[in-house]
Amino acid sequence: MWLALGTLTSHKLRSVLTVLGVVIGTTCVIAIGSILTGMSENFTELLHQFGPNTIFISKWNQEIRFGPSDREQRLRKPLSYADYEMVLANCTACRSVGLQIYARVGPRSARYKGEQVDAIPCNGNTPAFADAMNLQVAKGRFFTETENQRRADVCVIGADLADTFFPRGNALGEQIFVAGHAFEVIGVLDKFKAFALDSGGSNDKQVIVPYETYLAIYPSAKDHFMVAQAEAGRVPEALDQIREALRRSRKCPWNKPDNFGMATADNIIEQFHQITAATALVMIVISSIGLLVGGVGVMNIMLVSVTERTREIGVRKAIGARRADIILQFLMEASALTGMGGVLGILLGIIISVLIQVLLPRLPSVVPLWAVAMGFVVSVAVGVFFGMWPAVKAARLDPVEALRYE
């Protein structure tokens, strides 16, 4: 082993250049693996905050997709208040059902005295939405049905918005302005433990007002989102009841598919894991290119090394070295070379992951142990695989001819 390491250290620059592909391939495995793992953990934690019995309902199919939705979904009519009432009346397996309305208007700003926060989400919710969505109020309370029917100008705000406007924690009873409308703060939501991938943390900057109040401000708003909280152990039954109620309410023909979408938190998590698995597969393919380049480089340099050390091989064979000893020496050199490249790639990948956490805190990054182990094992395996031919070639040299080689 020491002989193999000594040979590598005597040609430092050549060794470094040889394993550059292995370093790049391993770095990709660690860096991309850390991002995927962090995103997966973050997304799973976010949905688990809503609970395993939560059912999300909208006019869109509840699926994770990239790019625009298909034409059939875009042409669907939005969920309506009548749909909500039908679900309320027929879903006996649901503990609570909440409705949210939102208007397709430009970015809105929230203002309190001299402070202003731009691009905040502001929606109108029924009082039951908090229970259906498992929203936790850290201070104050959620609005009541009476306040909703009276169209009271009250609101519940996210934790980050409260910290920005009221750093001393005196948010309750204060008046803020959202898109020019004044609202009294009656509650502050508990801080979300995780952030949706497309929200950039906006869950903690949101403003929630009563449904009827929102409708009075934006009378043309018609887009709805519904959330149901099923009784424990009755999620399948609740899904069936909601589907039946909505098909009747939305006059969906018996021979046509649903013109709305439903999903549970577990369904969405499963879809996300399928996407990350496919992304991980692509990552492995991309990394394999770097490892292949590194492996070819190792094979090439080891073949050159066999030629340069022909006399050394002849001497070793003349004093009793077996073929297995020669093969072992060259394989150890190749695996040590790529193994060091793997270690360097792992360190670079970890550094990149740490930099992501520091520079982009909203993008979760966690270095998984499996990526570290796989990066090192694969890098060593590349050395063994691509070093086998040069090792066998060295072992097959005739000692007499090798000693006469100039």
Cβ contact 54:132 at 8 Å: yes
Give the lowest-confidence range in 83-92, 226-235, 359-368. Answer: 359-368
- Count of other CB atoms within 10 angstroms of residue 91: 26
Asked whether the predicted pLDDT for residue 125 surpasses 80, the reply is yes
Name the residue with higher pLDDT: 288 or 237.
237
Cβ contact 342:24 at 8 Å: no
State the pTM of this model: 0.69
- Count of other CB atoms within 10 angstroms of residue 236: 11
Phi, psi of 260 (to 5 degrees): -160, 170
- The pLDDT tens digits of the residues spanning 213-252 come to 999 999 888 889 999 999 988 989 999 999 999 999 998 8
The Cα-based distances of 242 to 43, 61, 87, 157 in angstroms read 26, 15, 6, 30
Cα separation, 289 vs 22, in Å, equals 9
Instruction: Classify 230 in phi/psi space as left (phi over 0), alpha (psi -120 to 50) or beta.
Output: beta
| Helix 310-318, helix 265-308: angle, nearest 10 | 80
Phi, psi of 3 (to 5 degrees): -65, -40
- The pLDDT tens digits of the residues spanning 306-330 come to 776 677 767 777 777 777 877 787 7
Environment class of residue 82 by beta-carbon count within 10 Å: exposed (0-12), middle (13-18) or buried (19+)?
Answer: exposed
The Cα-based distances of 294 to 44, 47, 93, 362 in angstroms read 36, 41, 59, 34
| Domain segments of the chain as ranges | 2-45+273-404, 99-230
Note the pLDDT of residue 1.
45
Cβ contact 76:222 at 8 Å: no
Asked whether the predicted pLDDT for residue 22 surpasses 50, the reply is yes
